[in-house]
Structure 1
Amino acid sequence: MKIEQLNIQFEYEGTEYEIHPSLIILDEELTLVDTGYPGFMSKIEQEINGLGYDIKNLQNIIITHYDDDHIGALKAFKDKYPHVQIISSFLESKYISGMEKSERLIQAEGLLKDMSEKDKPFGEAFVQTLEALEHVDVDIKVTDGAMILNNEVEVVQTPGHTAGHISLYIQSINSAITGDAAVKEGEKLVVANPKYSMNLEEAEHSLKKIKDLNADKYYCFHGGLLEDHSNK
């Protein structure tokens, strides 16, 4: 069992950004955790191939939660690699599959109503982005404590950022993949975008749950790898 951090760089309105999906390697089988924004499939494919892995060995995609930067390229992956199994929590699966309107879209529409005229174009663009996300059926729906990937990866329920958010813990290598339950800021783990948390109190509780794993390595989608957990 091994985890690789993917470093996906991109530019938005003249500013450089980076996100960090994770790749779980179990023997020859590859599992991607989160897919980046719409249009990011080729960036992720190139990164995986550049690390020396064959993208044709991709067998699973785990979605930590429904946000455009985490599920944006999911439909493209499923279309190109139809054999790949999609894994998410029961709650997030309703949004990913399109069975229910996502809580993020409901939140964005609500915030738009109270935005200043200056901020409204950004709010409207975000709503449009969420509305345009393509839906995909979820093959495996998991709950807290579920063991997946040959019983080597534990699902950790970490609500707050979204209600159905999950993180992952791999005991054999004492490593955690946090999604947006924890982001790396400096050399610490913190709550992601507190003002956009669906439930900040739950988000803070989930952050503590992540820290209490006492993992040697935390793979954060935002901020990257945190190894010096003495500062977490």
Structure 2
Amino acid sequence: MSDLHLLTIEIENGGQRQSIAPVLLQDERDVVLVDCGYPDSMEKLEAAAGRYGLSLGSITKLIVTHHDLDHIGSLAALKEAYPHIAVIAHEREVPYVQGIKRSLRLQQAESTLADLPDELKPGAEQFIRSLASVEPAVVDQIVSHGEKLPWCGGIEVVHTPGHMPGHISLYLPGSKTLIAGDAVVYENGQLDIANPHFALDLKEAVRSVQRLLAYDIEQIVCYHGGWFRGDVQKELCRLIDSYQERSGEAR
């Protein structure tokens, strides 16, 4: 038997307030954190975990859905404070998490800076500095698509590239729940692609959503937007169709 807790925290990013939802999975042996917020999020994560009678020190494993500022910003600090936490990431994300390769998001931001209007450049430059400041962390376990992790009732790794090449979602068969990361977001009462204009490969991101139709999903946890508990299959099909119509493709 395992429990799923949303560590919903409010943050300010670029002068705007937003909410993100790292996830804690808990059973008799393990406490598994999925993603860990922006840099300097540890105090807010600790407070959110405390609402469920847990602490960051009780975490045994930390699964990284992908290398992006708002998902791994506090990873190095968490690992330094609690070195017993085992960090898990997809094989294609490991070089970026460990700092062996430069962040793809950083490369993307740098490559588009010159084309921005002058009034937007200061904000973009600040974003670039934030991306560059993210500290690397050692990955203790590398996973791949279809791998079944034995913790918290069973966790299946679902490779959902597009937003990032090594992006993963997590399927919990016991509760028919998908922890989506940024494979999809829940905004304005419906599911959507996360920041489609900034997806590294938008067509691949849509194909990843299509792959989710193979899973018996009754509810989705979105990092941006929290719970979606409607007709998951119908909503995923609507999302896929909306993007394929724009591109002239057929599902």
TM over 0.5: yes
* TM-score, with structure 2 as normaliser: 0.88
SS of residue paired to 1:173: coil
CA distance in 2, matches of 1:178, 1:189: 11
CA contact (8 A) 1:64 1:70 kept: yes
**Structural mapping, 1:42-53, within 5 Å:** 42-53=43-54
Query: Structure 2: which amino acid aligns with 1:47?
Result: A
Residue pair 2:88, 2:142 contacting (<8 A) in 1 also: yes
Contact 1:181 1:192 in 2 (8 A): yes
Mapped partners of 1:145, 1:94: distance in 2: 21
TM-score for the superposition, normalised by structure 1: 0.95
Given the alignment of the two structures, is residue 71 of structure 1 paired with residue 72 of structure 2, yes or no?
yes
Q: What is the match of residue 117 of structure 1?
A: 118
Instruction: Please report the RMSD computed on the Cα atoms of aligned residues, expressed in angstroms.
Output: 1.5
The CA deviation at 1:55 is: 3.1
What is the rounded CA distance, in whole Å, between the counterparts of 1:130 and 1:211 in structure 2?
A: 33
Q: Give CA-to-partner distance per residue, 1:195-217, whole Å, 9 cap, x none.
A: 00000000011122235424122
1:8 Cα shift? 0.2
Alignment of 1:101-180 (within 5 A): 101-150=102-151, 152-180=154-182
Deviations 1:86-141 (A, max 9, x none): 00001111000001112111111101121111111111111111111000010001
In the alignment of these two chains, the number of paired residues is: 232
Of 187, 190, 193, which aligns to 2:192?
190
Counterpart CA distance in 2 for 1:111 and 1:13 is 18
Q: The residue matched to 2:157 in structure 1 has which SS?
A: strand
8 Å Cα contact 2:45-2:56 kept in structure 1: no
Task: Tell me how far apart the structure 2 counterparts of residues 134 and 95 of structure 1 sit (CA, whole Å).
Answer: 10
What is the CA–CA distance in structure 1 between the aligned matches of 2:159 and 2:29, rounded to whole Å? 27
Superposition deviation, residue 82 in structure 1: 0.4
- Secondary structure of the 1:108 match is helix
Unaligned runs of 5+ in 1: none
Aligned to 1:89: 90
Report % sequence identity. 36
CA distance in 2, matches of 1:109, 1:12: 19
Q: Give runs of aligned pairs for residues 23-34 of structure 1, distance below 5 A.
A: 23-34=24-35
Deviation at 1:190, TM superposition (A): 1.2
Q: Specify the code of the residue in structure 2 equivalent to 1:164.
A: G
Residues 38 and 68 in structure 1, CA contact (< 8 A), matched pair in contact too: yes
Q: Where do 4+ consecutive residues of structure 1 move more than 6 Å?
A: none
Q: Distance in 1 between matches of 2:123 and 2:6?
A: 30
Query: Which sections of structure 2, spanning at least 5 residues, go unmatched?
Result: 236-251
